[in-house]
Amino acid sequence: MNRRDGRGGAARLRAAESRVYPRTNKRSAPHADSSQFFGTSCKNPVLPPGFPDLDAFKACHQLTLAVHRLAEKLEERDATLSGHLWAAALCASSRIARGSAFRNRRMFAACVDRTLSALSEISYYLDMGYAMGLISKEDHQEIESLGGRALFYSMKLVMSLAGGSPDETA
């Protein structure tokens, strides 16, 4: 529970999501036109245009939410593992958001490459927690499935940005 606002983790997460993905009526946008920030007609000046529409981001975001639920359960049993798992999950989706703000394909590809590293970390921490008996088989399978989906779409994205295989040298 957060001492400042008195809300638990799930409530904080829902509140954060509502700030990131506000529910709005299409007729009345809550934000001013941000064309001066991005040179586009994006209605939210805080978010770079496009990243919420990427399949890789959507898959990583779903994984991050599932890892958050698992990390809250795991925190009482092993706070260190929980923290590492949560940090890797945050990194996975945030690197795609960060990379999409760059106007350079190579920089974007480098950020998505870091997403792939974070997904590998999640897989390792998940396997370690399962081997130690800290993570249930059901939770392991759910996160592993979401991680595989995130890996697929992230690999697809990095390959499209790099114009070939991610391990080819230019």
Structural domains of the chain sorted by starting position, each given as residue range(s) with its CATH number in brackets: 51-162 (1.20.1440.60)
The Cα–Cα gap between 64 and 164 comes to 27
Q: Decide which of 122 and 25 is more confident.
A: 122
Name the band, by pLDDT with cuts 50, 70 and 90, for residue 13: low
Q: What is the model's pTM?
A: 0.68
What is the spatial distance between Cα 115 and Cα 99, in angstroms, rounded to a whole number?
A: 10
CA dist 16 and 158 (Å) reads: 28
Does 76 score more than 60 pLDDT?
yes
Q: What is the pLDDT of residues 77-117, one digit of tens each?
A: 999 999 999 999 999 999 999 998 888 889 999 999 999 99
10-24, 89-103, 113-127, range with the lowest pLDDT: 10-24
Residues 6+ apart with CB under 8 A from 110: 99
SS3 117: helix
Which two three-digit tokens encode residue 141?
A: 């399978």
Least confident residue range of 22-36, 39-53, 77-91, 130-144? 22-36
pLDDT at site 75: 92
For residues 147 and 29, the model is more confident at 147
For residues 47-61, give the mean pLDDT: 82
